[in-house]
Chains A and B, each alone.
Chain A
Amino acid sequence: MDVKHLEEKARGLRKQVIEMLYAAQSGHPGSSLSGMDLLVTLFFSGLLRHDPVKSDMENRDYFILSNGHACPALYAVLAERGYFPKAELKKLRQLGAGAQGHPHRGSLPGVEISSGSLGQGLSVGLGLALASKLRKNDKRSVYVMMSDGEQEEGSTWEAVMYAPKEKLDNLVALVDKNGMQIDGFTKKVMPTLDPLAAKYRAFGWQVQEIDGHNLKAIWKALVKAQRIKKPAVIIAHTVRGKGVSFMENSEHWHAGAITLEQYEMAMEELGS
């Protein structure tokens, strides 16, 4: 894996996200920026079996974005990968656009499920992983990305509890642990969410904790997660709004409109 090349890719895609959100004058920059490195590593390192030209390829791996509000990042990644023309990105949140405010299955190639209401993606991922197991020679993997705020949903834990029962070694969960949610720092809103790793371990998952902005660490963790013979979760410590100084760890940037001044500042910081 060419780390430098992918870091460059991630930087460019962060700019793409800022452009999309500025054009839409709404959306969720915080999580779109915090999860970008995870998405770039998964989609550009060759780990994910997929075909942008044939998005419904029969033996593809599945990627499920459970924290749907981070979809600008997913759309940008999919367009960069060639799933659909980049012109679609500029229509984010417009009436009739494929780039819906939250993912809507079928509205764009590569968007596997609808999401936005939190705590659902892992269950759907379990179903896909089970379906794969039911077909004896099917070796596909299922990747589910979640937010840390989403870990507060009860249904998340219904799914966490169930995956080891079925020994779903083809399931990899990624938690974009940026430490923030709508009402502020997760430590403040839900101080008992931590220790998160211990909770997953207690249910029988293989747990890795990594720096979610270190592409090499992400890649290594994904490779290990694929090989391990039980459900694996990668808890990625990230920074909300990563890459744009005034958005980083800011309580104001879960969602919101970007002004022209902020747009110019963000684009300059992300560089050319």
Chain B
Amino acid sequence: MQNLKPLKQPIKHALIATRQAFGETLYEVMKENKSVVALTADLGESLRMLKIQEEMPERFFDIGVAEANMVGIAAGLALGGFVPVAGTFAVFMTRAFDHIRMQICQNNLHAVMVGSHGGVSNALDGGSAHALEDIAYMRALPNMTIIYPVDANQTEWAFRAAATLDGPVYLRLYREATAVFTGKDDVFKIGQANIHRTGNDVTIVAAGPSTVMALTAREQLKIAGINAEVIGVHTIKPLDKETIIKSAQKTKRVVTVEDHNINGGLGSAVAEVLGEEQPTLLRRVGVTQFGESGTYPQLTARLGIDAAGIVRAVQQIVNN
């Protein structure tokens, strides 16, 4: 993977999809660690696994269009002493939910389920291809860790950490190439959110590549005299309560943003924490409907989860 240094202007950053970084990192990890095995449900190319298939065919399993079987087999491989990494589109992980629940989570096995093309990032394919519920149902599973990297650079760290974690992991990735704004100096630790920009007027808590939208929104808000703190949450479960509560105490206003249904995702998780421990004015930016075909910028604008949508939510809450 390209070694990218942090730049100041998000808009000029290199654009790389997190799924690309995943495929490259998985390849490297499998070269280093012979106990890691890769599985896919007929989406090896989309998840950038082809080099693995070519060079390490004995540890690559294309299960065919059969997500439930893929996860069941992953459970068996985990029980048999291997570290399975099972990837498909996030939207199709739904089909394996019962196997994830019973075999991976109830048995507390170390397996990495990789849901690529998360949110509306598979934009042109339309509503059937948009994964807007996966974080919600994964959050309801005991033992599950949910990681949703903010950019390609962080994905490398995230996957390396996920591969050595004990227990089930859901790694949510993006199809769309998005700005790489973190650098090698950014600390990555599972369960620890990153404060990417500090501010005093409002806290924007963002998940995954929506963090890029939050950074752009911050620049626009600055012009209006609003100084926003931007927190990127790569680990949605377990959530870094401390960082969020601390920031909420300071700014008194919180806006969450995610490419996911507004129910059950990051916004809900933050609302639960604040509601119980630090009641704070809150606006959740998320999706309230099914998707449709369109380009990624068009869709995020229509669904109100782009920088403009975040700016609107911040203005509402600041004027409140």
Chain A residues close to B by CB (< 8 Å): 104-106, 112-117, 119-120, 122-132, 134-135, 154-155, 158-159, 161-162, 166
Q: Given the complex of chains A and B, what is the CA–CA distance between A213 and B81 in angstroms?
A: 35
Determine which of B66, B69, B80, B103 lies in contact with A114 in the assembled complex, contact meaning CB atoms within 8 Å. B103
Q: Given the complex of chains A and B, what is the CA–CA distance between A123 and B98 in angstroms?
A: 13
Check if B72 sits within 8 Å of A130, measured CB to CB.
no
Interface residue B64 (Cβ < 8 Å from any Cβ of A): yes
21 A-B pairs whose Cβ atoms sit less than 8 Å apart in the complex: A104-B106, A114-B106, A115-B102, A120-B102, A120-B103, A123-B99, A124-B72, A124-B73, A124-B75, A124-B79, A126-B69, A127-B74, A130-B73, A130-B80, A131-B81, A134-B82, A155-B69, A155-B72, A158-B63, A162-B73, A166-B61
Check if A125 sits within 8 Å of B63, measured CB to CB.
no
CB-CB < 8 A to B16: which residues of A?
none
Interface of B is mostly: helix
CB-CB < 8 A to A104: which residues of B?
106
Check if A155 sits within 8 Å of B75, measured CB to CB.
no
Check if B102 sits within 8 Å of A158, measured CB to CB.
no
CB-CB < 8 A to B84: which residues of A?
127
Check if A134 sits within 8 Å of B37, measured CB to CB.
yes
Not counting A130-B73, A134-B58, a sample of 10 additional A-B residue pairs whose C-beta atoms are within 8 angstroms of each other reads A113-B75, A120-B68, A123-B76, A126-B73, A128-B80, A129-B76, A130-B80, A131-B81, A131-B82, A159-B72
Check if A130 sits within 8 Å of B99, measured CB to CB.
no
CB-CB < 8 A to A130: which residues of B?
61, 73, 76-77, 80
CB-CB < 8 A to B78: which residues of A?
127
Check if B98 sits within 8 Å of A120, measured CB to CB.
yes
CB-CB < 8 A to A124: which residues of B?
72-73, 75-76, 79, 103
Check if B79 sits within 8 Å of A159, measured CB to CB.
no
Q: Given the complex of chains A and B, what is the CA–CA distance between A113 and B73 in angstroms?
A: 12
Q: Given the complex of chains A and B, what is the CA–CA distance between A104 and B142 in angstroms?
A: 15
Interface residue B59 (Cβ < 8 Å from any Cβ of A): yes
**Distance between B34 CB and nearest chain A CB, rounded to angstroms:** 9
Chain B contributes a number of interface residues (CB within 8 A of A) equal to 29
Check if B37 sits within 8 Å of A123, measured CB to CB.
no
Task: Mark out the residues of chain B between 87 and 133 whose CB falls within 8 Å of any chain A CB in the assembled complex.
Answer: 98-99, 101-103, 106-107
CB-CB < 8 A to B66: which residues of A?
155, 158, 161-162
Check if B75 sits within 8 Å of A123, measured CB to CB.
yes
Q: Given the complex of chains A and B, what is the CA–CA distance between A106 and B143 in angstroms?
A: 15
Check if A131 sits within 8 Å of B77, measured CB to CB.
yes
CB-CB < 8 A to A154: which residues of B?
68
Determine which of A112, A116, A125, A161 lies in contact with B102 in the assembled complex, contact meaning CB atoms within 8 Å. A116
CB-CB < 8 A to A112: which residues of B?
79
Name which of A105, A116, A132 has the most chain B CB atoms within 10 A of its CB. Answer: A105
Check if B63 sits within 8 Å of A162, measured CB to CB.
yes
A133 to B, closest residue via Cβ:
B58
Known: A126-B73, A128-B76. A113 touches B103 (CB 8 A): yes
**Distance between B56 CB and nearest chain A CB, rounded to angstroms:** 11
**Distance between A43 CB and nearest chain B CB, rounded to angstroms:** 20
**Distance between B61 CB and nearest chain A CB, rounded to angstroms:** 7
Q: Given the complex of chains A and B, what is the CA–CA distance between A154 and B72 in angstroms?
A: 13
**Distance between B79 CB and nearest chain A CB, rounded to angstroms:** 6
Q: Given the complex of chains A and B, what is the CA–CA distance between A124 and B102 in angstroms?
A: 11
Known: A115-B102, A130-B61, A134-B37. A158 touches B76 (CB 8 A): no
CB-CB < 8 A to A135: which residues of B?
81
Check if B72 sits within 8 Å of A127, measured CB to CB.
yes
**Distance between A137 CB and nearest chain B CB, rounded to angstroms:** 14
Check if A125 sits within 8 Å of B76, measured CB to CB.
yes
CB-CB < 8 A to B76: which residues of A?
123-131
Determine which of B79, B98, B106 lies in contact with A127 in the assembled complex, contact meaning CB atoms within 8 Å. B79
CB-CB < 8 A to A116: which residues of B?
102
